[in-house]
Structure 1
Amino acid sequence: MNLTRRHFLHAGAAAGLLSIAGRPSVTAAASFAPQIDSRLKARALLALAAKRSSIRNADVIGIADFSRPSADPRFYLLDVMSGRVSAHHVSHGRGSDPDHCGWLEAFSNEYNSLATSRGSYVTGDFYTGKYGYSLRLSGLDPTNSNAEGRAIVVHSAWYAEPEIARQQGKLGRSEGCFAFGAASHREMLARLGPGRLLYADKV
């Protein structure tokens, strides 16, 4: 096997990203810093390396841990260089949780499934739609390749407010979109897009 300079550069980039997976989050109160599951973080950073040609900005990535219930802050904004993390509530699709138990039970990439899809997304343009100022998404994997056609986006929603989780023990459900409360949505718009990786999966 002939190893070129390009092979070494890609290997070095991947190794550097993986080293971040075990790095502690940097916040003013480190003992209370949000913690991303190390396995999911490693997958997201590998995806960032693998999809780098499609990701214009690699400074911040979004990671959705759908192993956790919707009552928990389970969407993480990760500053790739510093390791700083912020955690947010995010809704999943009603097709992924037909009994509305608060847990994502199944992913789907099918049209009309109203379900959340797993995999790597790249954030697109801002636009104003049904839920106000929103952020388009395109799927980068076979498991979410229909995201753009299904109009899967990042938007705000009243049913994704943390207060709903406190009152009802779970958030409301989207139609497959990544829905956030108003404060978290503002941070998504400011820090996540366009041209960045959003990674969604379970561990």
Structure 2
Amino acid sequence: MTDSLSRRQILRVAAGAALGGIASPLLAALPAGDPKALSGLIARANAALDRHGARVTVRDRFAVADFSAPSWLPRFHLVDRASGRVTPLLVAHGRGSDPAHSGWVRRLSNEPGSLASSAGAYLAGDAYVGKHGRSRRLIGLDPTNNNAEARAIVVHAAWYVGPGMVRDHGKLGRSEGCFAFSDTDLALVMDQLAPGTLLYADRA
């Protein structure tokens, strides 16, 4: 029976296991990737909600950045805990995480000046308008990302993120460690990552 499961069924099973048995209708639409890795990261995000307790005031949803996947796949996932719905989006990683610009995260770092993406749980902070336009501050909650504010690791839009970049270059451009999205997706991310929402990023 296991051998005959379709990829769609495997994705649903993985999502259901990670979300307490709730199947996800949108996970079935994900492109090639590793559903086991994503389900593991969703489980870690749920654990982070408990670990950071009252600091995370938004409890019905969170976001997961799966840096096990390459930049040409939608690897940033908005997770609705109540319905089990998972919405995948493209997101860039830091140039310090991928010096050769392969599209894959090779290292994660919390060091100032590393220009790398960092692993761990983040708390969404205030929105502001900066050099990248509308953006959202992020607060690193773990020892692996507690320099996020000092490093100005934020959510913002960037010209080098979007389906057109994947089509023309086979991968996204790189940030300086920020979570960079397409102009088209930014409004959704800013809305779903309201202040007090958890964002969990790591590799499986």
Interval containing the TM-score (normalised by the shorter chain): 0.7 to 0.9
What does residue range 89-168 of structure 1 map to in structure 2 within 5 Å?
A: 89-168=90-169
Consecutive unaligned residues of structure 2, counting only runs of 5 or more, are: 1-16
Q: What secondary structure, in the 3-state scheme, does the structure 1 residue paired with 2:123 have?
A: strand
Q: What secondary structure, in the 3-state scheme, does the structure 2 residue paired with 1:149 have?
A: coil
Counterpart in 2 of 1:13?
none
Alignment partners' CA distance in 1, 2:101 and 2:200:
23
Deviations 1:112-148 (A, max 9, x none): 0000000000000000001001000000000001000
TM-score using structure 2 length: 0.85
Alignment partners' CA distance in 2, 1:153 and 1:176:
8
Q: Structure 1's 155 and 19: CA in aligned 2 closer, same or farther, altered over 3 A? A: closer
Q: Structure 1's 84 and 151: CA in aligned 2 closer, same or farther, altered over 3 A? A: same
Alignment partners' CA distance in 2, 1:114 and 1:167:
25
Deviations 1:75-114 (A, max 9, x none): 0000011111100000000000000000000000000000
How big is the alpha-carbon RMSD for the aligned residues of Structure 1 and Structure 2?
1.7
Contact 1:95 1:113 in 2 (8 A): yes
Q: What secondary structure, in the 3-state scheme, does the structure 1 residue paired with 2:59 have?
A: coil
Alignment partners' CA distance in 1, 2:129 and 2:180:
15
Whether 1:47 aligns to 2:48 is: yes
Alignment partners' CA distance in 2, 1:126 and 1:61:
17
Q: What percentage of aligned pairs have identical amino acids? A: 52
TM-score using structure 1 length: 0.86
Alignment partners' CA distance in 1, 2:174 and 2:41:
23
Shift of 1:52: 2.1
Consecutive unaligned residues of structure 1, counting only runs of 5 or more, are: 1-17
Whether 1:32 aligns to 2:29 is: yes
What does residue range 9-88 of structure 1 map to in structure 2 within 5 Å?
A: 20-27=19-26, 31-32=28-29, 37-88=38-89
Q: What secondary structure, in the 3-state scheme, does the structure 2 residue paired with 1:160 have?
A: coil
Count of aligned pairs:
184
Contact 1:21 1:42 in 2 (8 A): no
Contact 1:90 1:179 in 2 (8 A): yes
Q: Give the 4+ runs in structure 1 shifted more than 3 A.
A: 33-36
Q: Structure 1's 21 and 33: CA in aligned 2 closer, same or farther, altered over 3 A? A: farther
